[in-house]
Structure 1
């Protein structure tokens, strides 16, 4: 079902999604990941320990809210994963027996535009 760019989320477990969204720093990571960033960059941007950042990234990836876009070389010459959020907005409806989620997924066109503006 779609309404004004919103789609009902059919995949994913509601408990996993709510848990990932409810974890400390998850919202900050999602906000910071509008453009592709490494875990180290996300950790520095929102000023959280790198181990915590990696745990939150794993939860967000498992919930389908963040995805690995590829790998790049770090300044130390190591290959690092680069992450970007998969959606811009999410709506949760608690009026049913189980929470229902609607989301506005990011389009590839929007990703490309933001990448161009970043450079």
Structure 2
């Protein structure tokens, strides 16, 4: 198993573990299988919006979540839309440093999932 690198961001093991270890991070990743705004994630998971934004920032920095673009909210404001970048992550603690194996989400899977929600 080799250490995985995030696209455009060499998130180290400390960053990934820290992001995954925070309360609500796993819930955000599960809910972000389809593109969602921070407000939608906050509502679905039932967490304060400020907490949701902090977790989103940590997950983006770790390469586990990505901003897919912007869309208009119901109030007419432009909001960022987020989606997770992986479906699975395995962490191996047998060496001096943790090593990660990730199953990345493919663009084809994203398109299929997007069609199901319509």
State the TM-score, normalizing by the size of structure 2.
0.94
**Quick one: distance in 1 between partners of 2:48 and 2:69?**
22
- Secondary structure of 1:88's counterpart equals strand
**Quick one: distance in 2 between partners of 1:110 and 1:8?**
24
Aligned Cα root-mean-square deviation (Å): 1.1
What is the match of residue 4 of structure 2?
9
- 5+ residue gaps in structure 1? 2-6
**Quick one: distance in 1 between partners of 2:95 and 2:105?**
26
The CA deviation at 1:12 is 1.4
Runs of 4+ in 1 over 4 A off after TM superposition: none
The CA deviation at 1:39 is 0.1
What is the match of residue 4 of structure 1?
none
Q: Deviations over 1:24-80 (max 9, x none)?
A: 000000000000000000000000000000000000000000000000000000000
Say whether residues 1:74 and 2:84 are aligned partners. Answer: no
State the TM-score, normalizing by the size of structure 1.
0.93
- Structure 2 counterparts to residues 1-119 of structure 1, below 5 A: 8-10=3-5, 11-119=10-118
Count of residue pairs the alignment pairs up: 114
- 5+ residue gaps in structure 2? none
**Quick one: distance in 2 between partners of 1:30 and 1:82?**
13
- Secondary structure of 2:27's counterpart equals helix
- Secondary structure of 2:95's counterpart equals coil
